[in-house]
Amino acid sequence: MTEVFNNVNTALVIDTETDQGRDPRPIQVATINVATGFEWMKYFNSGRTISPIVIKVHGITDDDVAGLERFNLAEFELPEYLIGHNVRFDWRVIGSPSAKLICTVRLARVAFPEWRAYGQSRCIEQLLGREEASLMTIAAHDALGDARMCHLLYQACCERLGIAPTDFAAAHAIANKANPVSKMPFGKHKGTPIKDVPISYVKWMLGNIHNMQPSLYSALKKRIEAEKIKNVE
């Protein structure tokens, strides 16, 4: 990245586009510095063929990234906080760095409980109205376009919650107070209390599903921790 900053009390909005659905690697990464508004975006070659299925989503082809370098987390200027819509997905895609995560899905659920849906495009539509939102959502599934939508949503959430957009500690605390789900929302164990789902299936989900909702991720991690305590006892 070309911008240099002290990582203490800094935050980047981040979004990625990937090469495949399973074990995804980044082929486009975009960030926005919340404090300065500085935007950064770059394409990468993952070293693998891009899946035709995901090409239909973001439109990035093998020819688009031919000859480009692979993403290297060691060369990524890390902030203290990463902000994103289902940010844990992008965090894992770039290599699970040591940054605190602020998820705008969670933040929006607290800030705008009256909304009916919390997908990013729907959030922008509910925030701006359908006509104005269409000018932004047309850029969905482009990393920089999605990062800009996420940045706008983050700012709106902070305004509704009465906190400064640069009060990252407060935003982080609010976003991470969301209660984890109590029952499996999908799959062969749909409707089963998380505490009763086989631990082998819980571990499989954590290792293979990279875009799950933060509330489900938290519930599954708590189940793993409870199992460890149980085995020690």
* pLDDT digit string, tens, across residues 3-42: 444 455 699 999 999 999 888 999 999 999 999 999 999 9
Average pLDDT, the chain: 88
Strands 39-43 and 26-33: antiparallel
Q: How far is CA 194 from CA 185, 201, 227, in A?
A: 10, 11, 12
Quick one: pLDDT at residue 6? 47
* pLDDT digit string, tens, across residues 198-215: 999 999 988 888 767 667
Buried b (16+ CB within 10 A) or exposed e, 110-131: ebbeeeeebebbebbbbbbeee
Question: The whole model's pTM is what?
Answer: 0.76
Quick one: pLDDT at residue 83? 97
pLDDT band at 185, cuts 50/70/90?
Answer: confident
Lowest average pLDDT, out of 32-46, 142-156, 175-189, 196-210, goes to 175-189
Q: How far is CA 74 from CA 35, 90, 96, 98, in A?
A: 23, 16, 12, 12
* pLDDT digit string, tens, across residues 91-146: 999 999 999 999 999 999 889 989 988 899 999 999 999 888 888 777 677 899 99
The share of the chain scoring above pLDDT 90, in percent, equals: 62
Judged by DSSP in three states, 100 sits in strand
Quick one: pLDDT at residue 5? 43
